A and B are shown apart, each in its own frame.
Chain A
C-alpha cells in the first residue's frame, strides 16, 4: 500500500515537472518578451530584463523558475491586474469559483448516485427509461446552452432568481450551481447504473442471495458497496470538467471567479498570468487524480493489501 502511494506521488510530481518545464519553454518562445522593444529604448528594456533576470543564461533562469515555483511564487500579472502577485489572484478568485463549483460537485455526485442506483434496480422499467433519457440529455446538451435557457426562463422571464451573480445573494447561486451540476449528475448516474448492473449480474450476488440474505442486505451490503468503488474514479475527471465548465458559467452569470481571470488573461495576452493559471489548473487536476487514486487504494482491499487483480 505504501509502495502504491509513493508510486502515485512520484508519478504526480513527474507529471507536474514535465508541465512546468514545457511552460518555461513556452515563456522563452513568447513573442516580444515582457518589454516592447519597438516602443521603448533598448537600454530601458535591457534594464527591465536584467531586473527580471532575463539576461541570465537559460539554465540559471530555469533553476530560478523552478525554485520560485517550489516556494509558491508564480510571478506577477502584467496586464489584467498589473503587478499583482499571481498566487494572490488565484487564492482570492478560487474562493469564488469554489463557492459555485463545490456545491455543484456535491449535488452532481449525490443526485447521480441515487438516480443511478434507482435506474439499475428498476432496469427496463419506466423509471430506468426516464432516467436514461434525462442522462442522455444531460450529457449531450452543452452546459452553457442549459445555463442560457435556465437564465432566460427562470431569471429573465419568471424573475424567480437574480440574472447576475452577487456574493451577498444566495439565491443568485441557484442557477449557476444547477447548470454546472447537470453534466455531473448525468455522468455519475450513467456510470453508477453500468457498474451496479454489472455487479448485480455477478456470481457473488447470486451467492449472497443463495445464503438467504434479505433482498435489501444483498443490494446495500453486497451490490452497492462494490459498485460504488469504481465510481470514485469518475469524481476526478468530473471535478475537472466542472472546473472547465465553470468558465462559461462564470461568463453567463457574471461570476468573478478564476475562469473569468483566465479568459481575460488570454484575451489581453497577459502571458505570464495565462501560463501560471494553466500550471495551476494542471496541478489541481493532478492533485485531484492523486487523491482519488490513493482513496481508491484505501477503499479497495485488492489494492490495499496487494496481490489481487
Chain B
C-alpha cells in the first residue's frame, strides 16, 4: 500500500523525503551538541569566570582586603566551626576567601589574555617574516626559536624577573616574551605552504608589494590556527602567572592573585587546609574551561587536527 501511494502521488514522496531530511539534520545537530559536551562546559566555565572577574565588586560578599583579627582562619561553612557569613572560610588575616577568590580571577584573566596578545604579536610577526622571506632571515629566526625552546619557559621568566622589578606589567611582558616561539613555528610552517599557492604567486607576478601579500593573502589564512593555539596558551599563561606569583616573583601583595593566596595558605597547611585548596581549584577549573574551549575551537576552526 505504502509503495503504491508513493508512486501515485509524487507530492507525498517529496514531503516524506523532506521530513526525513529535516529529521536527519536535527539529529546530527543534537549529536554534534552532545559530542562537544566538553565544549559547552568549557564555554560556560570561561564565560562565567570572565563575568566574575568583571563584576567582582558586585559579587564579592566582603572587601577582599579587609583584615579582621577577630575572624581569623574560620573554616568553610560545612565544617564544624564554619559560619554562613564566610562560605569558604577566612584566611590567616581574617579576610573572606570567597571574596579574595572572586577578585583573584581578575589577575588571571588579565595576565592570561594580555601575555598571549604580546606573545601572539611577536610570534606571528616573526613567523610571517621567516616563512615568507625564507633564506637567511628564516635561519636566524629558527635558531632564535631553538634557543628559546632550549630554556624552559618558567626558567626564562625567572631570568627576566631577576633583573626587572616584579609587577603586573613586568609579568605580562615576561610571559609574553618567553612564549612567542609556539606562534612563530606554527605561522612560519603555514606561511611556507601558503606562499607556494597559486594566488600568492599570481599576486607576486603582478607586482603586489610583499607587505600587502603578507597582510592580505597570508595573514588571513593563518588566523584560525593562531586563535586555536592562543586559546590553549592562555591556559598555560595562567598557570605560569600563578606559579610565579606563588614564588613571590609575580604579582605583589596586596594585589590578589590565586598564586599568592596559595603561597600564603601553604604556611597553614597543617591546620587550615582550605586556604590552599580553594585557590588551586579555582586555577584548575579556569584552565580546564580554557582547554575545553580551545579544543572545541580547534575542532570547529581546524578540522584537520580533529581527534588529535
A and B part of one assembly: no
